[in-house]
């Protein structure tokens, strides 16, 4: 999928995205944010923030950190803007940007969060490189996603069936853990399972251990 296609699929999803993907993916959002150990004054960026379903999981009572949310779909971002207004204590800045090429300086953010976007973005390796570039050297990148072949097993029937429709459904159902995580030589700080049947992985990477990705060729 190219970026024009991703934009159009998610612009179309915007009105009913929450209905389909709110509850079913919420355990992953909650666990990922709880596990990030956010400190006062930290700068967090969520790439592919979507309609803002994560906002309720940030601690509204200790809001001394800031969240920058970016998305490639204007309609999804519009939904996020409406939700953000209900969390007036949180510092949320929302921008229409492509996470594969952002205007942020090197080492800007303490935490870079890729929530269900790694298997959606046109070029996942470019997105990962950009995430590491804008992350501080002491910071971390958090990938929350479904991966096929996680335990080295083959594709499930649903992964195989859905893969034919990835252009229409807006994500890759065949998204191999060995290709996009282990095969890149990533040093993983931790992996946590989430969502129904433990289908989602929350992968925590420390930037300092993964700078070799910055010189990796994208697609
Ligand atoms: C499956 S949704 C996930 C939304 C949200 N993170 C959640 O937890 O529900 C993927 C989102 O990523 C956005 N997206 C895809 N590729 C992107 C990119 N390269 N840069 C910014 N946003 C992107 C899509 O527009 C969509 O809103």
Q: Domain residues of the chain, as ranges?
A: 3-215
- The pLDDT, as a whole number, for residue 102 is 98
Q: What is the Cα–Cα distance from 116 to 93, expressed in whole angstroms?
A: 20
Q: In terms of Cα–Cα distance, which of 216, 54, 187, 29 is closest to 128?
A: 216
- The pLDDT, as a whole number, for residue 178 is 84
Name the class of domain 3-215.
alpha beta
Q: What is the Cα–Cα distance from 47 to 147, expressed in whole angstroms?
A: 18
Q: What is the Cα–Cα distance from 118 to 91, expressed in whole angstroms?
A: 25
The answer to whether residues 112 and 67 touch, using CB atoms and an 8 Å cutoff, is no
- The pLDDT, as a whole number, for residue 176 is 83
Q: What is the Cα–Cα distance from 94 to 111, expressed in whole angstroms?
A: 16
Positions in the chain short of pLDDT 70: 151-170, 173, 218-219
| Ligand 1 interacting residues, C-beta cut-off 6 A | 6, 10, 21, 25, 29, 47-50, 53-54, 70-73, 76, 98-100, 115-117, 120-121, 127, 171
Distance 66 CA to ligand 1 centre (A): 19
Residue of 48, 81, 195 with the most ligand 1 atoms within 8 Å of its CB, for mutation? 48
- The pLDDT, as a whole number, for residue 115 is 98
Contacts with 4 (C-beta within 8 Å, 6 or more apart), sequence order? none
- The pLDDT, as a whole number, for residue 170 is 65
3-state DSSP helix/strand/coil % of the chain, to nearest 5: 35, 25, 40
- The pLDDT, as a whole number, for residue 124 is 95
- The pLDDT, as a whole number, for residue 198 is 86
Instruction: State pTM to two decimals.
Output: 0.93
- The pLDDT, as a whole number, for residue 75 is 98
Contacts with 119 (C-beta within 8 Å, 6 or more apart), sequence order? 145, 146, 147, 171, 172, 175, 180
């Amino acid at each position: 999928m190219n970026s024009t296609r991703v934009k159009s699929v998610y612009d179309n999803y915007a009105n009913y995205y929450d209905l389909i993907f709110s509850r079913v993916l919420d355990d992953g959002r909650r666990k990922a944010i709880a596990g990030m150990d956010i400190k006062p004054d930290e700068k967090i960026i969520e790439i592919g923030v979507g309609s803002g379903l994560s906002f309720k999981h940030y601690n509204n009572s200790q809001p001394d950190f800031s969240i920058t949310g970016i998305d490639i779909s204007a309609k999804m971002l519009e939904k996020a803007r409406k939700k953000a207004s209900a969390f007036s204590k949180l510092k949320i800045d929302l921008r229409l940007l492509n996470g594969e090429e952002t205007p942020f300086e090197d080492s800007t953010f303490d935490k870079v969060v890729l929530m269900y976007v790694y298997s959606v973005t046109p070029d996942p390796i470019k997105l990962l490189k950009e995430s590491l570039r804008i992350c501080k050297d002491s910071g971390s990148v958090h990938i929350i996603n479904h991966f096929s072949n996680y335990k080295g097993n083959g594709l499930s029937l649903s992964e195989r069936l859905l893969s034919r429709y990835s252009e229409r459904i807006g994500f890759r159902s065949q998204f191999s853990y060995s290709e996009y995580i282990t095969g890149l030589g990533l040093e993983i700080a931790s992996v946590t399972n989430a969502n129904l049947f433990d289908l989602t992985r929350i992968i925590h990477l420390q930037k300092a251990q993964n700078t070799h990705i910055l010189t990796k060729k994208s697609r």
